[in-house]
Amino acid sequence: MKKYLEIARAYMKAQLIWRSDTFVDVLLSVAKILFAWILWSILFEGKEQIAGLGFPAMISYYIISSYLFQLEKSAEISQQMTGMLRNGTFSKYMVIPVQTQGYFVAMEAGKTAFSAGIGFCTMILWFYLFRIPVALTTDWKIVLCGIMMVVLGLLFMALLNYFLGILTLKFEEISIFLMIKDNLSAFVTGAIIPLALLPEGLTAGMRFLPFYYVTYLPSMLFIGKCEEEAITGLSVLGVWCIVFVVINQAAYEHYRIKYDGAGI
């Protein structure tokens, strides 16, 4: 465990070198929230609620979900693995005395820890400067469940992207998989629109998938909605994480023998 903590700490410090990237991410997050503010101000004109959410709850949801979506940077795992496997530089990760899956998860944890602090300050600043009427739960148990769900959600996305990276050993070119994942995840996680606006039948089906619990449900928990789903969400997401840990290890052991350490 100490080795993985050192890896996470090293990558967290490395983020200080790329401060401009963090600044751009914050600007993009602010732009998204500003767009949502303008859009929902128009849609709520003359209305008290939309899909069970009042205007303060809707804006609070968008600020929180934008923050959580900004934290999720694990797409870099699959991109980095693909590049290294294709150019023959992945060998160094196969000889270091740590599990490869654990290394990349620790790497992502370090990066996320840095951006989490910056993003949190930005989120608080938005609430303060624009005097946004906050709609947040005061139930500490629900808040704790939401935080745990965020951690599990970030872990799941890191495991998913690691799995996609492993597929390079079989298919060599996985850009189509990454494109599908990137386009779908923004929608199915509720980062674009609250899933409460979708038909109930479609939302019910999403509850069996992990993406429902990555951004949407924790954001709803933090604003005091869907509290009855908290324990179920943690259980479902926890099971998906365990499943992908096992799948990743099996896939890596199966496909690693195909890697010859040479670039293409």
pLDDT at 115 (0 to 100): 74
pLDDT (average), residues 225-252: 92
25-41 tens-digit pLDDT: 666 666 777 777 777 77
Residue 242: the pLDDT is 95
Q: Is the pLDDT confidence value at 223 over 70? A: yes
The answer to whether 170 touches 259, Cβ cutoff 8 Å, is no
Judged against a pLDDT cut of 60, whether residue 93 lies above it is answered with yes
Q: What is the pLDDT of residue 159?
A: 93
Q: pLDDT tens digit string along 96-119? A: 778 888 888 888 888 888 777 777
pLDDT band at 92 (very low <50, low <70, confident <90, very high): confident
Phi and psi for 104 in degrees, rounded to 5?
-70, -35
Tell whether the torsion through CA atoms of 215, 218, 221 and 222 is positive or negative.
negative
Residue 93's nearest CA partner among 197, 192, 169, 194 is 169
Q: Bridge-partner residues for 54, per DSSP?
A: 49
* 162 touches 79 (CB < 8 A): no
In the predicted model, is pLDDT for residue 149 greater than 90?
yes
What is residue 18's predicted lDDT score, i.e. its pLDDT? 64
pLDDT band at 263 (very low <50, low <70, confident <90, very high): low
92 Cβ contact partners less than 8 Å away, ≥ 6 residues apart? none
- Give the per-residue pLDDT at 147: 93
Q: What is the pLDDT of residues 38-78, one digit of tens each?
A: 777 787 777 778 777 788 888 888 888 878 887 887 888 88
What whole-number distance in Å separates Cα of residue 107 and Cα of residue 205? 33
The CB density around residue 36, as the number of other CB atoms within 10 Å, is 19
Q: Provide the pLDDT for residue 138.
A: 84
Q: Which residue has the tokens 């205007």?
A: 55
Residue 173 burial (10 A CB sphere; 0-12, 13-18, 19+): exposed
Closest CA to 160 of 147, 173, 178, 148: 178
Mean pLDDT throughout 190-202? 76
pLDDT tier for residue 137 given thresholds of 50, 70 and 90: confident
What's the CA angle centered on 158, arms 32 and 183, to 5 degrees? 45
% of the chain residues with pLDDT over 90: 19
E-strand stretches of the chain: 49-50, 53-54
**Residue labelled with tokens 């010859």:** 260
Which stretches of 53-139 are DSSP H helices? 55-71, 75-87, 91-95, 100-129
Q: Could you tell me the pTM of the whole model?
A: 0.85
Query: Where is 155: in which H helix or E strand?
Result: helix 140-166
